[in-house]
Amino acid sequence: MKTLKNLLGVAAAVVCMGFATSFAAPDVFAGEAKKAEDWNMTQDELEEEALIDVTNGDVLGERAKDGAWEFHLYTTDGYIEMTNGELVWVFGYTHAKGSFENVGEVTTKEDAERLLEPVKVPSDPLHLFVGEKARIVLHNSGMHYAEEHSGINHVAHTIHFHGLDLAPAVDGVPSLPVDPVLEHKSFTYELTPQYEGSFMAHCHVDSFNHILAGMYFPLIVHHDRTKTAYGYKYDRDYTLFVSELSSTANEQLQESGVVHGLQDWKADYFLINGRTYTDNLFHPRSVINDPRSRIVCYEDEVVLLRFMAIGADHVFAFHPHGYHMEVIALDGRKLKSTYEKDTLCIASGERIDVLVRIPHFASQRKCLSCNLGAGISIMHDHNLRGMVSTGKYPMGALTIFDVKSKAKPVKPDEPLIKEGKPYNPLEH
Question: Which tens digits make up the pLDDT trace of 388-402?
Answer: 999 999 999 999 999
Q: Examine the pLDDT at 28 and tell me if it is beyond 60.
A: no
Question: Which tens digits make up the pLDDT trace of 88-114?
Answer: 999 999 999 999 999 999 999 999 999
Dist CA 133 CA 283 (whole Å)? 41
Question: Which tens digits make up the pLDDT trace of 146-200?
Answer: 999 999 999 999 999 999 999 999 999 999 899 999 999 999 999 999 999 999 9
User: Residue 93 is which amino acid?
Assistant: Y
pLDDT band at 280 (very low <50, low <70, confident <90, very high): confident
| pLDDT (0 to 100) of residue 51 | 92
Question: Which tens digits make up the pLDDT trace of 360-372?
Answer: 888 888 877 777 7
Radius of gyration of the chain (CA): 22
| pLDDT (0 to 100) of residue 36 | 42
| pLDDT (0 to 100) of residue 33 | 44
Task: State the chain's mean pLDDT as an integer.
Answer: 88
Instruction: Convert the chain into a string of H (helix), E (strand) and C (coil).
Output: CHHHHCHHHHHHHHHHCCHHHHCCCCHHHCCCCCCCCCCCCCHHHHHHHHHHHHCCCCCCCEECCCCCEEEEEEEEEEEEECCCCCEEEEEEEECECCCCCCCCCCCCHHHHHHHECCCCCCCCCEEEECCCCEEEEEEECCCCCCCCCCCCCCCCECCEEECCCCCHHHCCCCCCCCCCECCCCEEEEEECCCCCEEEEEECCCCHHHHHHCCCEEEEEEECCCCCEECCEECCEEEEEEEEEECHHHHHHHHHCCCCCCHHHCCCCEEEECCEECCCCCCCCCEHHHCCCCCEEEECCCEEEEEEEEECCCCCEEEEECCCCEEEEEECCEEEEEEEEECCEEECCCCEEEEEEECCCCCCCCECCCCCCCECEEEEEECCHHHHCECCECCCCCEEEEEEECCCCCCCCCCCEEECCEEECHHHC
Q: Examine the pLDDT at 21 and tell me if it is beyond 70.
A: no
pLDDT band at 381 (very low <50, low <70, confident <90, very high): very high
Residue 219, CB half-sphere, CA atoms under 13 Å: how many? Answer: 26
| pLDDT (0 to 100) of residue 242 | 98
Structural domains present in the chain: 2-25+232-406+423-427 (2.60.40.420), 60-226 (2.60.40.420)
Backbone angles phi, psi at 265, to 5 degrees: -55, 130
- pTM of the shown model: 0.85
Dist CA 351 CA 113 (whole Å)? 33
